Chains A and B, each alone.
Chain A
Amino acid sequence: MQPDKQNASLRITALVSVGKHPGSGRARRAEQDARAVEMAMTLAPEGLEVLHAGDPQADSLRAYAGMGLKRLRVLQQGTNADAVPALSQYLKQQKPDIILTGVRAESGESSGMTPYLLGEALGLPVVTRIAEIVSIDHGEANLLQALPRGQRRALRVPLPFVASVDMAAAAPRQSAFGPASRADLESQDIGMAVMDEVKAAWSEAPARKRPKRLKVVKAKTAADRFKAATAKSSGDGGKVLRDKPASEMAQAVFDLLLEEGVLR
């Protein structure tokens, strides 16, 4: 959209997954992944690759193609296979400048681990929840990271890197049926299938709404309510642990988890 942002030599790979509509449970274009594709299309319409590891027959992949992609590469593997080894093997060869993912998948384990595991496997820095890639110059990217309540944090990251794209990023363009049904789904047998042990061990059930702590708003006026809705959450604001021995910092995290009842 802004041509000055576009970079002819930039190579971006956007990873996409099969999403799941929260209401109907139907497969769809995942919201965050679609934003990753949108970001990549805006930034590098030429050097863009959209990549999926899984079933090349999945119809919902076409919804990404409908955004105007000529092709979409699928690393073919079974539904029980772990996507990360396949992706990292492929990405090691391709060496894109930027790898974009969603924050977490809408189906499956939905653990949000993919960007981290990829970062680890490829030895790349990981930036989470970005809202925008503002510019790229001299091998460094200026990013905006999305924080709660519409706040942004400006970051500078050297290429190449892995980033997960937040819902705060620009909404994806409409998917059109014509291009979607005509796009090339290039499926590629990568000759490996690592069983997803973790997934196999899990059992899936529809999520229930988690109980929330009620915030009692005593505000009388609209201005107060607005303040209450936009203010940073009060409380002691948490602790910043820095420059301490790792064991001490880990202990603090452990204690908190215990206190909140996450660990028993």
Chain B
Amino acid sequence: MILDWLLPILISAALLLAVAGMLKRISLWRAGQPEKVNFFSGLMAMPRRYLVDLHHVVERDKYMSKTHVATAGGFVLSMVLILAVHLFGIENRWLSYALLGALVLMFVGSFFVWKRRRNPPSRLSKGPWMRLPKSLLMFAVSFFIATLPAAGILPEAFGGWVLAVLLAAGIVWGLGELVFGMAWGGPMKHAFAGALHLAFHRRPERFGGGRSTGLKPVDLNAAKLGVEKPTDFKWNQLLGFDACVQCGKCEAMCPAFAAGQPLNPKKLIQDMVVGLAGGSDAKFAGSPYPGRDVGFAVGGPNKSITEGLVSPDTLWSCTTCRACVEECPMMIEHVDAIVDMRRFLTLEKGNTPNKGAEVLENLIATDNPSGFNPGSRMNWAADQNLRVMKDVKEVDVLFWVSDGAFDMRSQRILRAFVKVLKAAKVDFAVLGDEERDSGDVARRLGDDATFQSLAKRNIAALSQYKFNRIVTTDPHAFHCLKNEYPDLYPAGQKPAYEVLHHTTFINELVKAELLNLSEFKGGTVTYHDPCYLGRYNGEYDSPRELLKELGIELAEMERSGFRSRCCGGGGGAPITDIPGERRIADMRMEEVRAVGAELVAVGCQQCTAMLEGVVEPRAEVKDIAELVAEALVEEVSPAPAKSREQSKVAKKPLAEEVS
């Protein structure tokens, strides 16, 4: 029978071509900048990263995770058995039965892929991705029939040459898509690139339930700062781009995309693929950047990205909210890539849009973004009698005030928090005029030089004093201090303190029964998770526990927790202010309205500013510190006669130290 000699030839040809293609692809990645990875342990860890970490993300969509397990598992198993049965011709009935079983599994999986693709949601790419389920089915069916004789179910010469030719055609199609296409840029490329991307990921800390969200510092002595051309990315970043399956989960979560700003994280990653391989985006079959047509972007490994491939507006639309990264099943790092390209625009080109240049100049000259006299940093607390580190030298808690000190609305949050600290008799002090902007905005705007300078001077200020913890009401400062400053400590030194967000800290105080709180009286309340608290630092519970402690039943929004939608205030987005069709803050307030909330609790001054910027009528916006401060029952010692609170919180001796 023809297939007996044709099959091994087809399989070997497909394999050989695939190897050639893979080598070619690898050379494209290797054009990137060197980055040290641990090859061996990465490869060893890869199966676990795939089976556990990646599936943990895919699992959020049960349908898709089951489908993928069946299809991918069936395919990998079939491929191994096909090599045994059809290439090496091992004649073993059980082996053939196993192959048939694997193919059935793959067929069932592919069937459901196909079913979902009948009415694909807009986030999915069309084009070759519409062909993929059919190719999968074709592969499974053709090999199934071709294996029947080997399993002894059908006679050797069954069906004659007509069937043989048909089968051969099906097999060529299947192998073409699944083996050849994997190496030569077809949809199956994701399996090959994805596996290696998992092995050589730039942030291996993310696997095994870890978190790695701090940006990587720029070497300021390098000949070029930031990423201008695709080859300026690290090689494993390029590899990461190639792993994209165009599932559009990132697109569906991106606030800038939803607001009609010219950014679509999926398209951005695909444009990076265009850049690393060379060519144009004409074949891209997904949603465009809002308001921009597809087909005009051209790029190449050594061509400047912002000249023809991606418009700078696209890069500046991002709020660095990390919703895309959180959602991406392939664990691609969009924010790293975007900031890397911003770094080039700011540090080399001096092209930060709108108020960007002014803010950076202020940060350089005055250590705060608005250009206020740095000596007036403590003016907000003129009536607060705060202790300053310079005087006390040693304290339990250092209260990091942040630039909220200069903003009247934020000052209300700061005052509320001070009231809470005092009520709990916490031993705390502030840095006063020695504190500087954390550098968050400078860093997100790509100015790592200014970030590093601010960070180093803040570290020097911190290093003079002794304290156990830093607590701040600003999640951006929290993130910088906790996740980004450790990179900038002088060699051999490490921060000797813990960094906490005020919601975590107040929650601890409440748990230790150091605060006497009354019940919240008011209407429906919802909670908005700040990106830099939630996705960046995994703190979703403390704010909720605290609100519960106040007797608040939260009406959760559809997008909450790790799927919270950005307020639009991160990443310097209000400063670069790229026009869209809607404002992100308005969309968020719409979601608040949808759950009928009269009050939205937040844990961030930036979120407060953004959400309060929405025109009335709208829900009231309050920081959790403000809610707690309002609920404080003043201790009228020693006679607690007037306490409205009955006995929910028993009176406790007030301790001096909080551990």
Q: List residues of chain A with CB under 8 Å of any chain B CB.
A: 21, 23-24, 26, 28, 66-68, 173-179, 181
Q: Which of A26, A66, A175, A177 contacts B366 (CB 8 A)?
A: A26
Residue among B220, B349, B373 making CB contact with A181, cutoff 8 Å: B220
**A181–B450 Cα gap in the complex (Å)?**
13
Stretch from B43-51, B119-127, B357-365 contacting the other chain: B357-365
- Return the CB mask of B285-308 against A: 1 if under 8 Å, else 0: 000000000000000000000000
3 cross-chain pairs, A with B, having the tightest CB-CB distances, nearest first: A176-B350, A174-B350, A174-B357
Q: Cβ of B447 < 8 Å from any Cβ of A?
A: yes
Beyond known contacts A21-B366, A66-B350, A176-B349: 4 more, CB 8 A cutoff: A24-B366, A68-B350, A173-B350, A179-B348
Known: A23-B371, A23-B372, A24-B373. A178 touches B365 (CB 8 A): no
Task: Give complex CA distance A173, B360 in Å.
Answer: 13
B348 touching A24, Cβ below 8 Å = no
How far is A179 from B374 in the complex, measured between Cα atoms in Å? 28
A23-B360 contact, Cβ under 8 Å, with A28-B365, A177-B220, A177-B225: no
Residues of B within 8 A of A (CB): 220, 224-225, 346-352, 356-357, 360-361, 364-367, 371-375, 447, 449-450
Chain B residues positioned under 8 Å from A178 (CB to CB): 224-225, 347-348
- Chain A positions within 8 Å of B365 at CB level: 21, 23-24, 26, 28
* Chain B residues within 8 Å of A67, by CB: 350
Nearest CB of chain B from residue A60's CB, rounded to whole Å = 10
CB nearest to A68 among chain B residues: B350
Cα distance A68–B347 in the bound complex, in angstroms? 11
Q: Within the assembled complex, what's the spacing in Å between the Cα atoms of A26 and B457?
A: 15
If A23-B371, A23-B373, A181-B220 touch, whether A176 touches B366 (CB-CB below 8 Å) is no
Closest chain B CB from A90 CB (angstroms): 28
**Contact sample, A vs B, 5 pairs, CB 8 Å cutoff:** A23-B371, A24-B365, A28-B364, A175-B361, A178-B225
Chain A contacts for B373, CB-based, 8 A: 23-24
Instruction: Find the B residue at minimum CB distance from A172.
Output: B357
Given contacts A24-B373, A24-B374, A26-B365, contact A177 B447 (CB under 8 A): yes
CA distance A26 to B366 in the complex (A): 8
Cα A67 to Cα B364 with chains together (Å): 15
How close is A64's CB to chain B, nearest CB, in angstroms? Answer: 12
Complex Cα gap A26–B372 (Å):
12
Measured between C-beta atoms, what is the minimum distance from B31 to chain A in Å?
A: 22
Asked if A176 and B347 sit within 8 Å, CB to CB, the answer is yes
Centre residue among A24, A26, A28, A68 by max chain B CB count within 10 A: A24
Chain B residues, CB < 8 A from A21: 365-366, 371
Are B350 and A23 touching (Cβ within 8 A)? no
Tell me, in angstroms, the Cα distance from A181 to B452 when the chains sit together.
15
Residues of the B chain whose Cβ atoms lie less than 8 Å from the Cβ of A26:
365-366
Which of A23, A28, A176, A181 contacts B346 (CB under 8 A)?
A: A176
Q: Which residues of B contact A181 (CB under 8 A)?
A: 220
Flag if B449 contacts A177 (CB, 8 Å): yes
Q: Residue A23 contacts which of B220, B225, B351, B374 (CB distance < 8 angstroms)?
A: B374
Specify which chain A residues have a CB less than 8 angstroms from the CB of B220 in the assembled complex: 177, 181
Q: Closest residue of chain A to B370, judged by CB? A: A23
Please give the distance in Å from B352's CB to the nearest CB on chain A. 6
Closest to A175 in B: B350
Q: Which residues of A contact B346 (CB under 8 A)?
A: 174, 176-177
**Closest A residue to B366 using CB positions:** A24
Of the candidates B351, B366, B447, B450, the one having the most CB atoms from chain A within 10 angstroms of its own CB is B366
Quote the shortest CB–CB distance from B609 to chain A (angstroms): 22
Residues of B near A23 (CB, < 8 A) are 365-366, 371-374
**CB <8 Å contact, B364 and A174:** no
How distant is the Cα of A177 from the Cα of B449 in the complex, in angstroms?
Answer: 7
Give the shortest distance, in Å, between B232 (CB) and chain A (any CB).
13
- Contact partners of B224 in chain A: CB under 8 A: 178
List B contacts of A66 (CB < 8 A). Answer: 350
Q: How far is the CA of A176 from the CA of B367 in the complex (A)?
A: 17
Considering only CB atoms, which chain A residue lies closest to B357 in the complex?
A174
Q: Name the CB-closest residue of A to B353.
A: A174
Of B347, B365, B366, B375, chain A has the most CB atoms within 10 Å of the CB of B365
For residue B224, which residue of chain A has the nearest CB? Answer: A178
Quick check: B374 and A176 within 8 Å, CB to CB? no
A172 to chain B, nearest CB (A): 9
Nearest Cβ on chain A to B452's Cβ, whole angstroms: 10
Inter-chain contacts of A28 with B (CB < 8 A)? 361, 364-365
B345, closest chain A residue (CB): A176
The closest CB in chain A to the CB of B449 belongs to A177
A25, B375: Cα distance in complex, Å: 10
Q: Which residue of B lies closest to A179 (CB)?
A: B348
How far, in angstroms, from A67 to B449 measured CA to CA in the complex? 16
A208 CB to nearest B CB, Å: 14
Min CB–CB distance B595 → chain A (angstroms): 41
A68, A174, A179 pick with most chain B CB within 10 angstroms: A174
Contacts of A173 in B (CB 8 A): 350, 357
Q: Smallest Cβ distance from B364 to chain A, in angstroms?
A: 7
Contacts of B371 in A (CB 8 A): 21, 23
Interchain nearest-CB distance for A175 vs B (Å): 6
Q: Chain A residues near B361 (CB, 8 Å)?
A: 28, 174-175
Interchain nearest-CB distance for A93 vs B (Å): 32
Query: Which residues of the partner chain B approach A174 to less than 8 Å between Cβ atoms?
Result: 346, 350-352, 356-357, 360-361
A111 to B383, CA, bound (A): 41
Smallest CB separation, B283 vs chain A (Å):
35
Q: In the assembled complex, which residues on chain A have CB atoms less than 8 Å from the CB atom of B349?
A: 176
From B357, B367, B447, contact of A24 by CB (8 A): B367
Closest to A20 in B: B365
What separation, in Å, do the CA atoms of A179 and B346 have in the docked complex? 11
* Closest chain A residue to B373, Cβ basis: A23
